[in-house]
Amino acid sequence: MPALAIDILNRLVAHPKLAQTLQLQQIQRLLEFTRRIWPEIVGQTGVVPVVLPPQVVAFLSPVLRLPHDIIALSWLAFSDIAAAFQQDPIEPSLDDEFRLHANDHQIDCHTRYYPNYFVQQASNPAAMREYYNSAVPQFIHVTESSFVERQLCEYFEMQMAVTHSSAEGIAHVYNLALGLSSIPNASRLMHQLDGELVLDAFFHNAVLRDKAAQHQVLSVTHHGDQRRRLDAALQERNTRMMGTGQEFWAHACNRCMKLYQGEDGNWYQITAGVHDGVTVRHLACSVHNCTEPLPSQKARFCSTHAHLKDVCYIRDCNSLTQPGFRTCTLESHRAHELGTIERHAAMFQLHNRLQKSGIPHVPKAGSSSASTTKSTVPSPAVAEKSSASASSMVKGKNSRSWTHNEQLFVRCCGVIISRVTFFGSEGVSGVAAFLKATFPPAYPGAIPSYIFYDNNCTFKKFLLSSGDHYFDNVGLPVDVWHFKCKHTERDVFCQFHCNPARFQELIGEDGNWIFNSSAAEQSNAWFGKFQSVVQEMNVLRCLKKL
């Protein structure tokens, strides 16, 4: 007797009620029907359920001529057998049964097919858009009413990377010069580009290309805000890019790696890179050093610290705010808030400039002369003094907060191999953590022979005082330009540890430097121009674009 038949008999013995009710043909049909509707049974999770969905039980009952409780018990006994055989060919003879009964019990594919992706159980709030494969489509379905050609998305990328153009600017140029047509779309598809669509197309193409490089298939939410649809994919990619995740992390060329033959006849390599910060910032939580993203671009605090929006913003004050204000009822705190608002008003600023210049007001019609005209507006100096007198002793921040900067590690040939956001400050402890993440212990040969940094003297002091020996075999010179212009000759510690001229390996036979220690400054000039493009983006889009 075949092993499968013996297995079925043993299960029937274990379930006497089934042994008394089921015939072998009914068990066979149960396995065939469940194989046919397997996607309906396992749903989006792909996990074999302990209990069959109600619509499946309602469908199987008439076709197998069995009551619901027997169907449920049969599934409990034979579900693992059904799972093992669900890849077997499906019997066409079952089609008639489906024609008769499937519609009555909502047994169908529950799948919507779109040009780039499909959606199962689209009415489910947790439904996902599953792309067909890892290849980037020729025409990317960006929004419900727009498709953007892949080559056009790449044009957007080049405009942003080379000319640092904004999305609105790119859309405007396209509508005026490239997308001209006197015939509008007869369908609901968008006729013109706008900045939001340019960004959506840019990020869709970028994420699809990233997934293709990883040989993975993109999956995004079907419902919700269009601007947040790619958040999970962007977060995964941004996390992977930290440390060793950049495509060119292992880059080496003749400009950033040098070979030389030692006195012992062996060949040795010297590698170098430059670490530096650039002031490209994005919005952040107002709590110092908090790295949690903001729920919206208008928020001052992240979700964890959201309760602080109802607390007076004056430093060290924990009192609750009053309706319409961001401060408590203390007179000095309220004066600080009102003074801040007043100082940012255009009328106040312009009168203040006029007062400082000493130029009289232009008289109104009918007035005697400019020299005798008295201003009816209080003197800005007086107003500022009265405001300051009440609030000079208090400090606080009544505005959104930004990250401190972006830190880059650049090979001396100009290739950026790592990036990280510094939230509160450019502290040397953060620099050490960034360098260790970029060159982790798992890759001991990856750390450069020399790391240029404009504050290496402070960094070296930190390493010595903290007993950190991770960089003992790494030269830590200051880059040539900063050492000449920013570091004093009287600092013996800096001269001993960080003067680049002290490291003879950095000087070639012709007496010139073998590495370009200003590579980061040159990269910063390009990288820093993205500030105006990304400053109002959420953190996920900002980091992806950078």
Res. 172: pLDDT tops 90 = yes
Computed over every residue of the chain, the mean pLDDT equals: 84
Three-state DSSP class for residue 450: strand
Architecture of domain 257-281+403-545: 2-Layer Sandwich (3.30)
pTM score of the predicted model: 0.69
| Of 391, 458, 452, 399, residue with least CA distance to 430 | 458
Res. 503: pLDDT tops 80 = yes
Instruction: State residue 404's pLDDT score.
Output: 92
**What share of the chain has pLDDT > 70, as a percent?**
85
Provide CB contacts within 8 A for 488, sequence distance 6+.
494
Distances (CA, A) of 451 to 23, 82, 467, 474, 516: 78, 61, 19, 7, 12
249-263, 276-290, 316-330, 384-398: least confidently modelled range: 384-398
Segment 99-117, tens digit of pLDDT: 665 555 555 567 788 889 9
| Mean pLDDT calculated for residue range 421-430 | 91
46-60, 128-142, 374-388: least confidently modelled range: 374-388
Instruction: State residue 470's pLDDT score.
Output: 96
- Helices 331-343 and 346-357 cross at an angle (nearest 10°) of 70
More confident: 347 or 214:
214
More confident: 46 or 414:
414
pLDDT band at 494 (very low <50, low <70, confident <90, very high): very high
Res. 193: pLDDT tops 50 = yes
pLDDT band at 215 (very low <50, low <70, confident <90, very high): confident
Q: How many helices (H) and strands (E) does the chain have?
A: 21, 13
E strand or H helix that includes residue 540: helix 539-545
User: From edge to edge, which strands make up the β-sheet containing 128-131?
Assistant: 111-113, 117-120, 128-131, 219-221
Instruction: Provide the pairing of β-strand 117-120 with 128-131.
Output: antiparallel
Which amino acid type is present at position 9?
L
Delimit the domains of the chain by residue range.
Answer: 3-105, 114-241, 257-281+403-545, 306-400
Instruction: State residue 375's pLDDT score.
Output: 45
More confident: 473 or 536:
473
